[in-house]
Structure 1
Amino acid sequence: MSTSGAQPRLAVVDDAPKSVPGPQRSSTPAHVIKDDAEAIAVAERLAAAFAPGSSERDARRIWPTAELDAFSQSGLWSINVPKAFGGPEVSYATLARVIEIISAADSSIGQIAQNHLGVIAAIRTVSDPEQQKLLFGEALKGVRFGNAFSEFKSKRAADFETTFTEAGDHVVVNGRKFYSSGAILAHLVPIVALDDQGRAWYAIAERDAPGLTVIDDWSAFGQKTTLSGTVILDNVKVPKTHLVPGYKGYERPTADGAIFQIIQVAVDTGIASAAIAETIDFVNTKSRAWVDSGVERASDDPYTIQAIGDLTIRLHAAQALQERAGRAIDQAVENPTAETVAQAQIATAEAKVLSTEIAIAATNKLFELSGARSTLAEHNLDRLWRNARTHTLHDPVRWKYAIVGNHALNGVNPPLHAWS
C-alpha cells in the first residue's frame, strides 16, 4: 500500500488556501476483484474500517489518506473495467451498491470515487482499443483519476472556458476549475477542456504536472473531506495518448450520463442508510421516553415506531429503484440505443428523486426522534444532515421530476449529458 506524499492536514479557520502536492503511486499493484459477490464483500470490509473514524475526519477535516489508499488498492476502483481488458466488469447495480456501502460509512470517501468510475465508463464508450488498454491498465494497477470538470463562474454547469491547443504529440491546457472532488489525492486528473471546435475532451494530466496547481480551498459545510477545491491549469502539457474524446459520449445515445448519475444516487442512499442506523442506535441507547407516552423506553413510543417504519420503507424503495436503474444501465451499456439509454436515464432519475428525499428526510428525523441530546457536539450527528444537504445539491431533483414527467406525458427522451 502506498505512503501518500500529501500528509493529512487539519483545517484551521484562518489558514489561507494552500497549493498541495499530489500523492505517490503505490509500489504494489492493486487487487483485481473477481466478481460481483467479491465486490460487495470487499466494500463491506472497507466500510467497517472506515466508519469508526468518519466523525473525527469530518469534525477536524482530516484527509482520508490511508482510507483512500485502501479503497483504491482493494480493486473497487476498477470494477467497471471491461472483462476484455482484464477487469471484473460488474453490474452497475453492484457498482452502485458498493458506493452505497462505502458512503454509509463515510459519504465523502464514497463521493471521491464517482468521477473516476464515470471516466472509466466514458473511456469504454469513446476511446479506441489502444487508449482503452493504456488507461484501463492504469486503473487496474490502482491509479486514481480525480477530476477537474466544473467551473465556478460559468452560466451553466455544462459551460466551459478551459481550452487546449495542439502542440505536436501533446496538447497544452489552460483554465481554472472548481468542485474538483478527489483532485487533491488523485494520481491523474482528467480535465474537461474544449478544442478549437468547442468540443469537450478529457485531458488526463499527471497530478504533479508542471502548471497544474490544486488548492485546498473547499469550504462547504458538508462533504468536507471530498478532497475538492480549485484546480489552476497554466500551460499544462498532456500527451495525446491521454486525450479522451468525451464529447463523443453525448453525440449519440450512450449510458455515460446515467452512470455518472447512479453513483450520485448511491452516495445519497448510503447517507440515508447511515442516518437511519444512527437514529435506531440513539433511540435505543440514549433517548428518553416522552412524558405523555406511557412507556418506559423511547423505542416503545408508538409514534417513533411508526416514523422508523416509514423511513425504512422509503429507504428500501430508494434502494430498489437504485438496483433497477443499475440493471437498466447494464442493458444500455450492452446495447446502446435511443430506447435503452432513455430507459436507463429515466430509471436513474426516478432513483435520484427517492434517494434525495430519503437522505434529507432521514437526516432530519434523526434529531426529531432522538431528542435534544442528539444535537450535542460530542455526537457530531449533524454531519449526516450536512452531508445530505450538500451532496443532494449536485443535481437538482426538480429537474429529475421534469424529465420523468416529460417522458411519460410527451414521450420526450432525456437530454444527453453528464447530468442526465
Structure 2
Amino acid sequence: MTSYQSISPAQAAQLAPAHIIQSDAEALEIAHTLAEQFKHNAILRDAERILPFEEIEAYSQSGLWAITVPKQYGGADVSSYTVAQIIALMSGVDGSIGQIPQNHFYALEVLRNTGSEQQKQKLYREVLQGARFGNALAEFKTKNAAQKQTAISPTANGFIVNGEKFYCTGSLFAHRIPTLVKDAHDREFLAFIPRNSEGLELIDDWSGFGQRTTGSGTVKFHQVFVATEDVIPFDQAFQQPTLVGPFAQIMHAAIETGIARAAFEETLIRVRQARPWIDSGVDAATQDPLTLLELGRVVADVRASEVLLKQAARSIDAAKPQPTEDNITQASLDVAKVRAHSSEIALKASSKLIELAGSRGSQRVDGLDRFWRNARVHTLHDAARWKYYFIANFTLNGIRPPRRGTL
C-alpha cells in the first residue's frame, strides 16, 4: 500500500495552465490524438499496474477535463454525446484511463445544479486552469451502499470531516477530492477537499483484477478542515428533476461501449491471424462460417450499443435547457437501456475476442484478457438487471425510475 500527498489546485494551475477547448469538434480532434498516444504501453500498464500519472496529466492539460464547464464561465459546454464519445474512445484504448475522469465530470454536474455563483466561479476557474477532481463517494464498511458514515461538523470558520471512503476512482491523480458527507441532521453535502489537506490520507490499495490503474483505493479523513466555500449541497440535486443521475450513468455506459468496440476491432485483427477450425473445410479463419456467424452477432450488438448511447445522449441534451419530470424520466430510461445493453455486450465482445482468436488469444504477452477483465469489473458498478427492471416497471406500471440511480 502507498500513501500520497500532492500540491494544491492553485499551485498546479500556476505551474502549467491547461489548454482551453472552444468547441465539440476541437474536443473530439484532441481526444483522437491523445488516444493514439495512450495506446503506447497500455498492455504494460495493465500487466504491471503502472499508474498512468503522465497520461492523466496530458489528458487534463489538453483541456478535455474542462469541456463540460458552461460557456458563461469560459468553457466549451460540449454536448453529452461528445462527452460520451470521448470517454468511449479512451476506454477502448485503456479502460482505466477511460474511467478516471468520470467522477470529475460528475462533480462538475453536481456543482452546476447546486453550487452557488461564487462556488461555480471558483471551481470552474480551477478546472479550466487544469485542476482535476477525484471522488470519495462510496463506503466499504456500511451495511449497504446507501448508508454513509463520513461526517461533516461545523467549526468557527468552516467544517471538519471525519470518515473513510473506498472505490475512490481517480483520487490518486486529483487536486481536489469531492467527498460525500452527512451532517448531524442527515443532510448530504459534497465537500471539494484539497488533496494536500492535513489529516487526509490516500491509500493505493485497489486490488481489482480489472480496471487495475484507476486509482480506486481508500481515502481516510481525520479531522480534515474544509472551507465553507468548498462545500455544496448534494441531496438537493435529487429533490427536483435534474440531469445529475442520467449524466453519471451515460458515462458508465460509454466506458462499456468503448471497451466493446475496441474488443470487436481487436477481434478482426486476431481472426485474420487465426487458423480455421479443422472441420470447417476452409483455408482461412476469415472464411469459417461459424466464426463469421459469431462475428456478425458481435457486429450487430456493438453497433446497437453505440446507437443506444447516441439516443441517450440526445435525450439528456434535449432535457438540459429546462428539466422536467417527463424529460428527465425519458433521459433516465434511455440511459438505462444503453447501460443495460452495454454491460452485456462489453462482456460478450471481450469474451468472443479470446474465443475467436483461438489458443493464441490466451498468450499473456498480448493482454487480450484485459478487455474482459476491465468490462467485468466495471459492470459490477451496478447491476444491469436493475436497469431492465426500471425500464419494465415504467413501461408496464408507469412508475418512474429513481432520480438518483447509482453513482
Task: Judge same fold: TM > 0.5, yes or no.
Answer: yes
What SS class does the counterpart of residue 327 from structure 1 fall into? helix
| 1:387 maps to amino acid | N
**For the aligned residues, what is the CA RMSD?**
1.2
The offset of 1:52, in angstroms, is 2.2
Q: Is the 8 A contact 1:23 1:186 kept in 2?
A: no
Equivalent runs, 1:122-133 vs 2, <5 Å: 122-133=110-121
Name the counterpart of 2:63: 75
The answer to whether structure 1 residue 236 and structure 2 residue 220 are counterparts is no
Q: Which stretch of the first structure deviates more once superposed, 171-180 or 375-384?
A: 375-384
The offset of 1:139, in angstroms, is 1.0
Gaps of 5+ in 1: 1-16
The offset of 1:319, in angstroms, is 0.8
Equivalent runs, 1:388-399 vs 2, <5 Å: 388-399=375-386
Q: 1:331 aligns with which of 315, 318, 328?
A: 318
Q: 2:275 aligns with which of 288, 291, 301?
A: 288
Q: Is the 8 A contact 1:201 1:247 kept in 2?
A: yes
Name the counterpart of 2:332: 345
| TM-score, scaled to structure 1 | 0.94
| 1:332 maps to amino acid | A
The answer to whether structure 1 residue 121 and structure 2 residue 109 are counterparts is yes
Give the share of equivalent positions with the same residue, in percent: 42
| 1:273 maps to amino acid | R
Equivalent runs, 1:106-117 vs 2, <5 Å: 106-117=94-105
CA distance in 2, matches of 1:381, 1:291: 24
Equivalent runs, 1:250-289 vs 2, <5 Å: 250-285=238-273, 287-289=274-276
| 2:199 maps to amino acid | G
The answer to whether structure 1 residue 143 and structure 2 residue 127 are counterparts is no
| TM-score, scaled to structure 2 | 0.97
The offset of 1:391, in angstroms, is 0.2
Q: 2:346 aligns with which of 309, 334, 359?
A: 359
CA distance in 2, matches of 1:326, 1:168: 44
Equivalent runs, 1:311-330 vs 2, <5 Å: 311-330=298-317
The offset of 1:329, in angstroms, is 1.0
- Aligned residue pairs, count: 403
Q: 1:203 aligns with which of 188, 191, 212?
A: 191
Q: 1:176 aligns with which of 150, 164, 168?
A: 164
CA distance in 2, matches of 1:282, 1:69: 32
The offset of 1:270, in angstroms, is 0.8
What SS class does the counterpart of residue 138 from structure 2 fall into? coil
What SS class does the counterpart of residue 267 from structure 1 fall into? helix
Name the counterpart of 1:403: 390
Gaps of 5+ in 2: none
CA distance in 1, matches of 2:315, 2:257: 18
The answer to whether structure 1 residue 310 and structure 2 residue 297 are counterparts is yes
The offset of 1:98, in angstroms, is 0.7
Q: 2:5 aligns with which of 12, 16, 21?
A: 21
What SS class does the counterpart of residue 33 from structure 1 fall into? coil
The offset of 1:19, in angstroms, is 1.4
CA distance in 1, matches of 2:253, 2:391: 16
The offset of 1:23, in angstroms, is 5.7
Q: 2:374 aligns with which of 376, 382, 387?
A: 387
What SS class does the counterpart of residue 189 from structure 1 fall into? strand
Name the counterpart of 2:25: 37
CA distance in 2, matches of 1:326, 1:22: 35
CA distance in 1, matches of 2:173, 2:143: 28
| 1:392–1:23 Cα change, 3 Å | farther
Name the counterpart of 2:54: 66
CA distance in 2, matches of 1:331, 1:234: 43
What SS class does the counterpart of residue 371 from structure 1 fall into? helix
CA distance in 1, matches of 2:281, 2:48: 41
CA distance in 1, matches of 2:282, 2:21: 50
| 1:320 maps to amino acid | V
Q: Is the 8 A contact 1:256 1:418 kept in 2?
A: no
Encode CA deviations 1:17-66: one digit per residue, 9 max, x unaligned: 22122367251211111111111111111111101211100000001011
CA distance in 2, matches of 1:411, 1:44: 41
| 1:312–1:23 Cα change, 3 Å | farther
What SS class does the counterpart of residue 213 from structure 1 fall into? strand
